[in-house]
Amino acid sequence: MAPEYAMRGQFSVKSDVFSFGVLILEILSGQRNKVFQNGGDTEHLLNFAWRNWEAGTAFDLVDSSLRDGSRSELMRCIHIGLLCVQEKVARRPNMGAVVLMLTSYSATLPLPSEPAFFMHSKAQSEVQPSQDLNSGATISSRSGNKIAVASENELSITELYPR
């Protein structure tokens, strides 16, 4: 679901573009856009895709069953998926542009910006109970173990422990 719809009830054709981008990334990764384990980290698909894009390791997103395909086509699809899920609605392409990007290799793709609901998910052992995490959120560790910061933006609130 597009964040502008989830947060403010605003729906537009760009909301469908966001959903299409999520679908592209889900297909390429073989993962649903939910919390999943990636090694020792827990993160969402959009976070994982963006982090790897920024690190230059976007091909790590691709599911092993698709890795025998054309690397350039897979990378182009990741690029298009990230363009579709950009946080700023105005930066997302319209569906006509997406179709053109998918069918024309001569179309130059702009660089994507950070996706909506991008959350940092680094485990931090230094976090103290009730420490402010630049978002007004507080977390505490009941077990004294490392705490994963699940959200550092003002649009989402993630409770790490159920009530």
**Is 139 a domain residue?**
yes
| Share of residues in the chain with pLDDT > 90 (%) | 42
> Residue 113: inside a domain, yes or no?
no
> Which has the higher per-residue pLDDT, 38 or 123?
38
Q: Please tell me whether the overall predicted TM-score, pTM, comes out greater than 0.75 for this model.
A: no
Q: Answer yes or no: do 70 and 145 share one domain.
A: no
Same domain, 31 and 81: yes
* Residue 98 dihedral angles phi and psi, to the nearest 5°: -65, -45
Specify whether the CB–CB gap between 109 and 92 falls below 8 A.
no
Mean pLDDT of 127-140: 38
| Same domain (yes/no): 25, 98 | yes
Count of structural domains within the chain:
2
Q: What percent of the chain has pLDDT over 70?
A: 62
73 and 142 part of one domain: no
**Do 17 and 81 have their domain in common?**
yes
* Long-range Cβ contacts of 62-67 (<8 Å, 24+ apart): 62/28, 62/29, 63/28, 63/29, 63/30, 63/31, 64/30, 65/30, 66/28, 66/30
Over range 110-131, report the average pLDDT.
Answer: 58
Q: What pLDDT is recorded for position 32?
A: 86
- Same-domain pairing of 69 and 143: no
Q: Do 8 and 83 lie in a common domain?
A: yes
